[in-house]
Amino acid sequence: MWLFYFEVFMNITCTEMIRLCPLACGPGSLILQIDSCPVAFVLPFPSQVVYNRVGKCGSRTVVLLLRILSEKHGFNLVTSDIHNKTRLTKNEQMELIKNISTAEQPYLFTRHVHFLNFSRFGGDQPVYINIIRDPVNRFLSNYFFRRFGDWRGEQNHMIRTPSMRQEERYLDINVCILENYPECSNPRLFYIIPYFCGQHPRCREPGEWALERAKLNVNENFLLVGILEELEDVLLLLERFLPHYFKDVLSIYKNPEHRKLGNLTVTVKKTVPSPEAIQILYQRMRYEYEFYYYVKEQFHLLKRKFGLKSHIRKPRPRPEFFIPSPLETEEPIDDEEEDDEKWLEDIYKR
């Protein structure tokens, strides 16, 4: 839906009353003119963007880019001090939506939070963007990141998870999966879909209902959901769709200094589970993979529509899922997210 409005807007023709003003206002901005006399400035479309970033899907890289871009282009980057609360009560939803909606426009709000329906509480629905990745790869990255951190420092994992017992920190990934530890089982593995399904309790239950609702929200509320494995193409499309936010993002991303900082966020001590354990993960994450391949297909259709070719290796065959027994769903455990903003502040102090 948002892509339809975007295409209509980008194809507006000049008239005596409304003219595109690319030089004075920037790409995609409007200025009203009567008898060639400017009378009113209209905010760039869209002027309200939410990036409800999925954990361990390149979000720290994108947030670092947004920090640079907000200074360069002058938009309002709104962040949050809360990094580990993705599910909200009704009152918390109302409060957060109110705070976001009253931010100075044009704004881009970013936080680890499941999809929020602004219109349900009488607000203007913003444009959403997001990025996901292969579900097993995301899970493995998070598993080892919580235990051993990344290249920013050998001891940063001790600060992040100080209460983790040593036997848990060094728990073999195969044991965790094959012996069905909570961290390697549902509902903990049902992670990506709730970011798109929303705040309804059923969005946390692995199943068709949450999957279909997530697909519906992608179609109706997200301008773009990209694939981390094709990040450069994601950035190209973001620059095309949202130039007043993402103009020059790819050149900044490819800058050697940024690349050097980005390399520090690579998770350390990752090991690959056995084929048997991987197959079990595929079975447990069947809905996550259905969603991932759906989003990937939509993303590739979008790339072809705008003339982008996929320069990627031949994809792995899709996992063959067995029909699982009904999934017993208990209350999910809160995820421990990295304090992104503190890390970014440290970088800018260097």
Q: What are phi and psi of 172, to 5 degrees?
A: -65, 135
Structural tokens at position 241: 């769709």
Q: How far is CA 210 from CA 98, 127, 199, 213, 217, in A?
A: 26, 21, 11, 5, 11
Alpha-carbon distance of 231 to 238, in angstroms, equals 10
**Catalytic member of 73, 83, 112, 244:** 112
Q: What are phi and psi of 213, to 5 degrees?
A: -70, -35
Q: What are phi and psi of 347, to 5 degrees?
A: -65, -45
Burial of 305 (0-12, 13-18, 19+ CB in 10 A): exposed
Alpha-carbon distance of 311 to 190, in angstroms, equals 30
- Give SS3 for 139: helix
258 in catalytic set: no
Amino acid symbol at 152: R
Could you tell me how many residues make up the chain? 350
Three-state SS string over 225-240 comes to EEEHHHHHHHHHHHHH
Assess contact for 68 and 149: CB atoms under 8 A.
Answer: no
> Locate tokens 């990295």: which residue?
338
Alpha-carbon distance of 287 to 192, in angstroms, equals 10
Select from 124, 132, 122 the least CA-distant residue to 51: 132
Q: Could you give the residue numbers annotated as active site?
A: 112
